[in-house]
Chains A and B, each alone.
Chain A
Amino acid sequence: NAGVMQNPRHLVRRRGQEARLRCSPMKGHSHVYWYRQLPEEGLKFMVYLQKENIIDESGMPKERFSAEFPKEGPSILRIQQVVRGDSAAYFCASSPQRWGTEAFFGQGTRLTVV
């Protein structure tokens, strides 16, 4: 059973470009969470999705950021018009249910904005 798969592992974008980060949850997991980790900091919750639904986006910046988890295919975190401050590691986690069970994390996508 493959773990949570994130790609790409590393992504370099110029300021103003778009970044697309993909996350395939573990088999049988329908709950996906995205977290952002700035250098030397802890992980900050961004958004929680189930298939085709955004359940909680309270940690998502109001502009330029969006997320989706379609019926088929991976979850995607999209950052439009990236700025230097978006440089961070973005982690996806999946779980089989939303309450009190282990969330399995992917290896992360390290975004660098130049």
Chain B
Amino acid sequence: QQQVKQSPQSLIVQKGGISIINCAYENTAFDYFPWYQQFPGKGPALLIAIRPDVSEKKEGRFTISFNKSAKQFSLHIMDSQPGDSATYFCAASGGSSNTGKLIFGQGTTLQVKP
């Protein structure tokens, strides 16, 4: 119930293409869904986050799509650039005990080819 499943595990995209990463959750009490970007040797950095009261949120080239009924959310990176090459993690938090702890997906390693 506390799991967040992320796919694909790795992704190769040409420069200028669209990168799409998907996540699914089980706990319907989750109410905060962030995406983090992590470069090698660095800590995760928040990219964009969404709450279940909206179906889509866009910030620059990054868009989260949220499907509450399917319990799925996805990250779309438009016009992907080599500098976007990193590992991306979806996460979720919330629930009855709601301590703010994040449940992370397994991560997606994105490589954007020039």
Give chain A's interface residues, CB within 8 Å of chain B.
4, 6, 31, 33, 35, 41-45, 48, 55-56, 59, 91, 93, 95, 97-108
Contacts and interface: CB of A to CB of B under 8 A. Distances in A.
Nearest to A46: B101
Interface of B: 6, 31-32, 34, 36, 41-46, 49, 51, 89, 93-94, 97-107
29 contacts: A33-B100, A33-B101, A35-B104, A41-B106, A41-B107, A42-B89, A42-B104, A42-B106, A43-B89, A43-B104, A44-B104, A45-B103, A48-B99, A48-B101, A56-B101, A91-B43, A93-B102, A95-B100, A98-B98, A98-B99, A99-B32, A99-B100, A100-B100, A101-B100, A102-B46, A103-B100, A103-B102, A105-B44, A105-B45
Contacts of B46: 102-104
B42 A45 contact: no
Contact of A100 (B32, B45, B97): B32
